[in-house]
Structure 1
Amino acid sequence: MDVGDWLRRHGLEQYEAAFRENKIDDTVLPTLTAEDLKDLGVGFVGHRRKLLDAIAALRAQVAAPTPLLSDAPLAIDNAAKDTAERRQVTVMFSDLVGSTALSARMDPEDLREVIAAYQKCVAEAVRRFGGFVAKYMGDGVLVYFGYPKAHEDDAERAVRAGLAIVDSIARLAIPAQGGLAVRVGIATGLVVVGDLIGEGGAQEEAVVGESPNLAARLQALAGPGEIVIPLATRRLLGGLFEFADLGLHELKGFDAPIRAWRVLRESAAETRFEARATSGLAPTVGREHELALLAELWSKAASGEGQVVLLAGEPGIGKSHLIQALRERLRDRPHIRIRCQCSPFHANSALRPSIVQLTRAAGFHPDDPPSVKLDKLERLLARSTDKVRDDAPLLSAFLSLPVGSRYAPLNLSPSARRS
């Protein structure tokens, strides 16, 4: 492959000379990183983003298996055909409430459009949180989290997808029929997945185990707009969400009663570490040097000599634990703490860490109406400025709060407002 032609195809031919001077050929190109592109003089973020996307596509193309060109039939034994595997999967069942009644009142073509809009909402939410839509069953959808791609937080992803589905379906409305609602059941457990069943367009990969049946039973137990989970899934979620205990229930096909919980909303925990560490902070082992250094830097900052610390390390090495241990040491020392945290679930939401921080500082409650939130925002701003009426309109727009006629319109361009 000619690298110059490749750059021209993507409209970035101005970097051809730099690529040639640095001996970038088709064997090196798929391995380039963002830092490499900076070293090559690709200064614009947009150009680097374009190149990284094109390199990712090229890397996938290089990794794709080469098709066999032989016309000879291939002999495949039974062992090679068996691709089923044992793994932990979180299964989600989503069902549209009142679809039978809708079918009796609506024209079939209109009902088809409603079902299609519902399925689209479910598919978009599942895709956003890394799940896999296994099967559409009319007004029901079967979804896997943990297959074919597994994540360490598949139970959390499933619940977040369920909340997104409930919210998006509630915003769908049918003329002369009113709003829509879904019931969602989620269950986690060991299954055997990967066996192909059916033929042609009906072929699917089956999941064998208790979890699919349990998710279906819990979905039937849920009310409109509700998500219901069992004990195993509840344990995996820790304090990430707020729950209502529904008690024990006799479910068809299960010998023992099943304890169920209803997911209410995302919790108010400041960080994911705190939400998961619901049983308290474990002892800090082997970090005496790091803790002593942080305590020393804190003392310098408290005496007026400002400090900045960057704590870096591989995932799971204990960064959050170390910060929490420092917080415990400073619990009785006067200080103001501001915490912002990024999330892979909100990668497309600009400035979300700042929005969450401001929401928490103002003391917003999920059930507060917009007028109450605006009152709380004004009280927060009054602590640091006497120009509340000037600043509140900007920050209310930042927080997506409707203001009505409370403030004068902001005659600013989007770029000026963002600045």
Structure 2
Amino acid sequence: MAVTGQMNIAVWLKSLGLEQYVPVFDDNAIDAEILPRLTAEDLKEIGVGALGHRKRILEAIAAMEGQPEVVSARPDSASPMSASVERFGEPGRPREAERRQLTVMFVDLVGSTALARRLDPEEMRDLLRQFQNTTAGEVLRFEGHVAKLMGDGALAYFGWPQAHEDEAERAVRAALAVVSAVNGLSVKGGQQLSVRVGIATGVVVVGDLIGIGSAQENAVVGETPNLAARLQAIAEPGTVVISELTYRLIGNLFDVTSIRPQMLAGFDTPVSAFKVIGEGRAESRFEALHAGESAPLAGREHDVALLLDRWRLAASGEGQVVELFGEAGIGKSRILQELRQHLKDEAHTRLRYYCSPY
């Protein structure tokens, strides 16, 4: 385990979005030496009650295996990029190239050339630093990987080196957050800043190390990064443009409008593109991602019958509570959808609450 005793556990937990467990780790004397030996049972024993939180901690520990030394950082001075290094390791560390489906995001600061002419070099440097820290911070908040910061531009990956089941959604949420955050940055003279963002999803080969010294980076080979860059170029200031595959993956989670197919440099045929307007209005993630495609429910008759039985008891005045739990993708939401279908003609009040991983 490439973690030194000086690693700041508080910073590490904060980078995972789990800062509420800092006192728990402190009370149980869990330091960098103990961290790699933690098990799911250990985490449950010390008070990490949520299964998702335990999995996130264990996955983060596993991701650090074989990575170079993580240096300590003060919570008040740790930059988004240092947080990225803590989570994913030094960029110069050789890794084996992998074939993956990746969502790539390009961000460009609009009007940077004109700003450079108008502002003092030191003022421009500070502005670019604000832009980069803001962009990197939002990417990391949605657990993406800041691949490269290029002055007035940024490149981010969602799906490597850490993978989630909802990378396209994470990328779009991060992009909207970047647009909003950069819009709020201050610039001398009161000029409002804006960015263009392009997002594309596709199969790539990622992980080959190219370049020398400080210019080293993990290359992504495939059509996807080129497409993301081209989509960024056609985006209007303050907007996010996504590829067709990204659009299909996000379902109805966002309000999206179609853009006329575009002839893009390097592509032989017109490319479909979509502009993201904002959050969608679907009542649930399940409905947003599976609109119009629910197959007949099979093999869950007993579960539905049990829920209907408990409903009848509740309707007769005997209060009931049923907990339905299971691994992601096992069909919990589909069972509830079936229950609602059975109860559609019966008077009832439905309350819905959702927990967000962000």
TM-score range, shorter chain: 0.7 to 0.9
Structure-2 separation of matches of 1:113 and 1:199:
27
Partner of 1:316, secondary structure, is: coil
Partner of 2:128, secondary structure, is: helix
Deviation of the 1:111 alpha carbon = 0.6
Structure-2 separation of matches of 1:221 and 1:326:
45
Q: What CA deviation, in whole Å up to 9, does each residue of 1:90-149 have, x standing for no partner?
A: 110000011011111111110111110000000000001111111111101011111111
Aligned residues: 299
Asked which structure has the greater RCO (Cα within 8 Å, sep 6+), the reply is 2
Q: Specify the alignment match of 1:213 in structure 2.
A: 226
Within the candidate set 135, 149, 157, 1:144 is matched to 157
Q: Specify the alignment match of 2:46 in structure 1.
A: 37
The residue correspondences of 1:51-200 to structure 2 (distance < 5 A) are 83-200=96-213
Deviation of the 1:194 alpha carbon = 1.3
Q: What CA deviation, in whole Å up to 9, does each residue of 1:130-183 have, x standing for no partner?
A: 111111111010111111111111111100100110010111121314210000
Give ranges in structure 1 of 5+ residues lacking alignment. Answer: 1-9, 16-25, 39-44, 46-51, 68-80, 346-419
2:289 aligned with 1:281: no
Structure-2 separation of matches of 1:321 and 1:123:
36
The answer to whether the 8 Å contact 2:35/2:61 transfers is: no
The residue correspondences of 1:328-367 to structure 2 (distance < 5 A) are 328-345=341-358
Structure 1 counterpart of 2:332, one-letter code = K
Per the normalisation by structure 1, the TM-score is 0.66
Q: 1:175 to 1:207 in 2, by over 3 A?
A: same
Deviation of the 1:301 alpha carbon = 1.1
Q: Specify the alignment match of 2:258 in structure 1.
A: 245
Deviation of the 1:86 alpha carbon = 1.3
Within the candidate set 313, 317, 336, 1:304 is matched to 317
Structure-1 separation of matches of 2:338 and 2:234:
42
Larger radius of gyration: 1
Structure-1 separation of matches of 2:135 and 2:63:
30
2:291 aligned with 1:313: no
Partner of 2:308, secondary structure, is: helix
The answer to whether the 8 Å contact 1:134/1:142 transfers is: yes
Q: What CA deviation, in whole Å up to 9, does each residue of 1:280-313 have, x standing for no partner?
A: 4221101111111111111111121111111122
Deviation of the 1:257 alpha carbon = 0.2
Within the candidate set 296, 307, 315, 1:294 is matched to 307
Structure-2 separation of matches of 1:304 and 1:106:
71
Q: 1:143 to 1:37 in 2, by over 3 A?
A: closer
2:244 aligned with 1:231: yes
Please state which structure has a larger fraction of its residues in helix.
1
Partner of 1:304, secondary structure, is: coil
The answer to whether the 8 Å contact 1:30/1:58 transfers is: no
Structure-2 separation of matches of 1:98 and 1:324:
48
Structure-1 separation of matches of 2:318 and 2:331:
27
The answer to whether the 8 Å contact 1:183/1:225 transfers is: yes
Identity value in percent: 53
Structure-1 separation of matches of 2:217 and 2:192:
32
Aligned Cα RMSD in Å? 2.9
Structure-2 separation of matches of 1:58 and 1:86:
21
Partner of 2:214, secondary structure, is: helix
Q: What CA deviation, in whole Å up to 9, does each residue of 1:55-106 have, x standing for no partner?
A: 9799779955899xxxxxxxxxxxxx88222111111000001101111111
Per the normalisation by structure 2, the TM-score is 0.77
Q: 1:157 to 1:58 in 2, by over 3 A?
A: closer
The answer to whether the 8 Å contact 2:242/2:276 transfers is: yes
